Amino acid sequence: MHSFRHPGLVLTDHRFTVPLDHDDPGGEKIEIFAREAVAASKADENLPWLVYLEGGPGFGARRFVGTEAWLGRAVREFRVLLLDQRGTGLSTPANRQTLPLRGGPREQADYLAHFRSDSIVRDCELIRPRLTGGAPWTVLGQSFGGFCAVRYLSAAPEGLEQVLITGGLPSLDAHADDVYRAAYPRIERKVAAHYAHYPQDVERARAITAYLAEHRPDSAGHRLTPEGFQSLGILLGGGTGSHQLHYLLENAFVTGPHGTELSDTFQEAMRTATSFDGHPLYALMHEAIYGQGERPTGWSAERVRAEFPQFDAAASLAGQGPVLFTGESIHPWHFEVDPALRPLRETAELLAARTDWPALYDTARLAANEVPVAAAVYHDDMYVDTGHALRTATSIRGLRTWVTSEFEHDGLRAGGPRVLDRLLALVRGESDR
């Protein structure tokens, strides 16, 4: 183990070896990385553990600098474990550079089938006794981390002292199609709110889309397309995302010797915002996290989008309507335009066609739940449907919700100690609402 210090913190790196397939404990092993954070003044105390499960899928745990955001509140009473879920961060990587070591696309898809919440929870249950001596711990799950927390409640509640969920109550039985049918109208509302605040962006977005449709520029091997531009709407799910999008759009064009063209600044910003270089598992596994049973996900976001013709950029340009941005959705074209994903296109196709996904949630066990649970549900969250979240909340015995419009999906980061304080008060019965 390696330890180092930040202001107010002692940080210690841990590495754990776990089975790739927990049903085959003697088989292939992978490595899980996690970073422990404890208040410097309490480093020698016997504190209870809190494990943080990041959103995603496909993102390593956030790298905090000191006691920023919610971490400062957490280390007042917990020893915190910032877990890099399998395939992310400093855990054994899964990307275009490493997946060919598995073999061809079929072998890669079979390997990635072990990278969902069920496997992540079993990783946690192997790690927990090594750190806590067998005592249960608190789980804090953000977004997809909340999906993992609900799986934890279904599969291993004996390992849990209490559960805190922020923007991450999944539907227990919705197919990916149901998720996206609920998502597109929600995205449209976020886009309408953005254009109402920044009406000048309507024409800017049309002009950018028209330019990309005609020219299809290349930025460091990443092909910039109208569909890729629309996907910048993912920014609208964060508290400051509308402002970030506006600032990006206002810098779109320059005039050069050949006339008006997209600025290098804009092209680089768009490439950076839409590239999966740093988190390819997000694209590969995004629809797979909803897979349960024999029905394939089958590029759900792409199929369902056809039911919402107002998102067709070409039709918008041909008419007078605004170009609508999209949000948290993955499409086949992502694997054509992004060099980080291009070699993995066939692997993604096999995952989309898969028909043997295990069930993730045990409704009977959740209905009999005895673990204290509190969840922040962000009203009209762009990433997680409020209706789906509240139906799940009523299906988990004893779960207490805090429904708020004060924050967007990034409330845990943006709200810092306030969000964690509220959830801890709820789960401990110290707050009535």
Mean pLDDT of 322-349: 97
Residue 433 pLDDT: 57
Does the structure show a pLDDT above 80 at 351? yes
At residue 432 the predicted structure's pLDDT band, cuts being 50, 70 and 90, is low
Which amino acid is located at 207 in the chain? A
With bands split at pLDDT 50, 70 and 90, how would you rate the model's confidence at 172? very high
pLDDT in tens, 45-95: 999 999 999 999 999 999 999 999 999 999 999 999 999 999 999 999 999
Instruction: Summarize the confidence of residues 181-188 as an average pLDDT.
Output: 97
Provide the pairing of β-strand 259-262 with 253-256. antiparallel
Q: Does position 27 have pLDDT exceeding 90, yes or no? A: yes
The values of phi and psi at residue 166, to 5°, are: -125, 115
pLDDT band at 320 (very low <50, low <70, confident <90, very high): confident
Longest Cα separation, the chain:
70
* 405 band by pLDDT with thresholds 50, 70 and 90: very high
* Residues with Cβ within 8 Å of residue 278, at least 6 apart in sequence: none
CB 417, CB 245: distance < 8 Å:
no
Q: Domains of the chain by range and CATH?
A: 2-173+361-427 (3.40.50.1820), 176-352 (no CATH)
Q: Rounded to whole angstroms, what are the CA distances from 363 to 45, 155, 287?
A: 38, 11, 21
Q: Give the model confidence (pLDDT) of 371-384 as tens digits.
A: 999 999 999 999 99
Inform me whether the pLDDT recorded for 159 exceeds 90. Answer: yes
The alpha carbon dihedral of 368, 372, 378, 382 has a sign of negative
Among candidate residues 365, 363, 432, 412, the one with its CA nearest the CA of residue 392: 363
What pLDDT is stored for residue 258 in this prediction?
87
Segment 260-286 mean pLDDT = 96
Give residue 416's pLDDT band: very low, low, confident or very high (50, 70, 90): confident
Q: How many whole angstroms separate alpha carbon 313 and alpha carbon 326?
A: 11
**Catalytic residue numbers?**
143, 356, 409
Position 27, amino acid: G
